[in-house]
Structure 1
Amino acid sequence: MYTILKKEILNPTVTKMVIQAPNVAKRAKAGQFIILRVDEQGERIPLTIADADPETGEVSIIYQIVGKTTMALNQKQEGEALQDFVGPLGQPSEIEGERVCVIGGGVGCAIAYPTAKAFHHAGSEVSTIVGFRNQDLVILEDEFKEVSDHYYLMSDDGSVGEKGLVTNKLEELIQNGVQFDKVIAIGPVIMMKFVCEVTKKYNIPTVVSMNPIMIDGTGMCGGCRLKVGDEIKFACVDGPDFDGHLVDFDEAMSRNRAYASFEKHERDEFCNLLNQEVH
């Protein structure tokens, strides 16, 4: 069993939990994820590791309350325990580049933060651009500022930071002569698509995290199947990080919408069909 050491409400729909999981904390790296189960009857869901401390054995997760399992998870309180907490899984992010721009959108900022932190600790010059719909949804502002040489906060309605999209700020910086060795985009699939459209114009290598399309965390269901260039990859196994200029975002979004529209029994059937198709 894995004890919940701390629970913090970050905004009305997003919660942070700190879990006692020493074996995960010892090996966790930026970009990796865990699979948890709330109780014996619960389904397994993948969540990205937001932070880990190998000395204390603490692992932080940040999740959005969007369905039955995350609702059940959110009912848990400090001092209670989770049934399963398995990881780290997935391929770690490649922390290379002297001047990098880490872009986070919405709850995707929970994944962008450990990446920005890893680059900061590696000695890179880190610019972060984070975007939210409004002031009430902002998360991890102090944490990002601590690991960023340059921090830009954007909001759709202008209620906090600058009004506009993360892509607006990214293109503004590039056009003003700021040079990046690499851009890392993490957030809604549509956001990552448009970030890649900007960076492709300027020939800037770009990495995207396809965490949003992961379903069971193992690749067995086939729901995270992804076309990357001429190859078929699986976000849970081969990623979640990929070359953003090679990802077929339209296909990924179409698959994600189809899966999200199903009831649970239909989702299970859909995953089985995809798995048969793959094999």
Structure 2
Amino acid sequence: MNKILEKEHFSEKVVKLVVEAPEIAKSRKAGHFVIVRACEHGERIPLTIADADTELGTITLVVQNVGTSSGKICALNPGEYLTDVVGPLGQATHIENYGTVVCCGGGVGVAPLLPIIKAMKQAGNRVITVLAARTKDLIILEKQCAEYSDEVIIMTDDGSYGNKGLVTEGVENVILREKVNLVVTIGPAIMMKFVALTTKKHEI
């Protein structure tokens, strides 16, 4: 059983939970995830570890309410418990000093991107972060990303915040103005596809 210590609504459907998990907090790396169950007969849901605090022994999870099981997790409040939190799992993201790294995230994809941004910065890279969403209300973790980025560029489909346009436009503008050594992208599959096509065009 893992106690929920904090809860914050990023939007109507997206919730941030800070959960007690000291052993996971100690050993997790950028790119790792956990398997979570809300209750005894709940579905097993994979969630990326968005952040961790080794001193407090906590991990941060960002959950999008898309169905019954994720809805149960989103409905939990501070003081209540997750039945299971298993991890860290998966293969950690390879981190090294590449030079200039563009990290771009769409919607809730920003949650798994945050630890990569942090690790890339700590490895000595120049980090430019491009955050994208349909509208201003769906941009998450901007302040936390800014803490470890040399620059943050915001792209919204409707122009309600930052620059009007798609994430690929934000990425390409950076590529055209300076040398970029690596691009990391996490978000909807269609977004990642077009970011990959953009980088392929520029041989990055």
Tell me if TM exceeds 0.5. yes
The 1-side partners of 2:12 and 2:77 are apart by: 16
Q: In the TM superposition, what is the alpha-carbon distance from 1:87 to its structure 2 partner?
A: 0.3
What is the aligned partner in structure 1 of residue 9 from structure 2? 9
Determine what percentage of the aligned residue pairs are the same residue.
Answer: 48
- Alignment-mate amino acid for residue 124 of structure 1: N
Listed as ranges, the gaps of 5+ residues in structure 2 are: none
* Deviation string, structure 1 residues 241-271 (Cα, Å, up to 9, x no partner): xxxxxxxxxxxxxxxxxxxxxxxxxxxxxxx
Task: State the match for 1:100 in structure 2.
Answer: 101
User: How far did 1:24 drift?
Assistant: 0.6
Structure 1: how far apart are the matches of 2:4 and 2:174? 41
Question: Residue 74 of structure 1 aligns with which residue?
Answer: 74
Structure ranking higher on relative contact order (CA contacts 8 Å, 6+ apart): 2
Aligned to 2:117: 116
Matches within 5 A, 1:240-279: none
One-letter amino acid of the counterpart of residue 72, structure 2: A
Q: What are structure 1's unaligned runs of at least 5 residues?
A: 205-279
Q: Equivalents in 2 of 1:94, 1:53: separation in Å?
A: 21
What's the secondary structure of 1:107's corresponding residue?
helix
Does the 8 Å CA contact 1:12/1:137 hold for their aligned counterparts?
Answer: no
Equivalent pairs, count:
203
The alpha-carbon deviation at position 135 of structure 1 amounts to 1.0
Following superposition, the deviation at residue 150 of structure 1 comes to 1.1
Contact 2:37–2:82 (CA under 8 A) maintained in structure 1: yes
Give the 3-state SS of the residue equivalent to 1:11 in structure 2.
coil
Q: For residue 23 of structure 1, report the CA deviation from its aligned partner.
A: 1.0
Structure 1 residue runs of 4 or more that deviate by more than 3 Å after TM superposition: none
Aligned to 1:147: 148
Structure 1 residue 159 corresponds to structure 2 residue 145: no
Q: Which has the larger radius of gyration?
A: 1
Question: What is the TM-score when the length of structure 2 is the normalising length?
Answer: 0.97
Offset, 1:179: 1.1
2:85: which partner in 1? 85
Distance in 2 of aligned mates of 1:141 and 1:185: 16
Q: Are residues 1:131 and 2:132 paired?
A: yes
Separation in 1, partners of 2:176, 2:142: 26
Residue number in structure 2 paired with 1:251:
none
What amino acid maps onto 1:54 in structure 2?
T
Query: SS of the counterpart of 2:16?
Result: strand
Aligned equivalents of 2:173, 2:28: Cα separation in 1: 35
Provide, for residues 155-213 of structure 1, a one-character-per-residue CA deviation record: whole Å limited to 9, x for no partner.
0000000000110111122122x111110000001100000001011111xxxxxxxxx
Q: What is residue 52 of structure 1 aligned with on the other side?
A: 52
Distance in 2, matches of 1:121 and 1:175, equals: 25
Letter of the aligned partner of 2:65 in structure 1?
I
The within-5 A match list for 1:213-232 is none
Per-residue deviation, 1:4: 0.2
Distance in 2 of aligned mates of 1:17 and 1:94 = 26
Please state whether the residue corresponding to 1:16 is helix, strand or coil: strand
Alignment TM-score, normalising by the size of structure 1? 0.71
Q: Secondary structure at the match of 1:86?
A: strand
Structure 1: how far apart are the matches of 2:148 and 2:52? 15
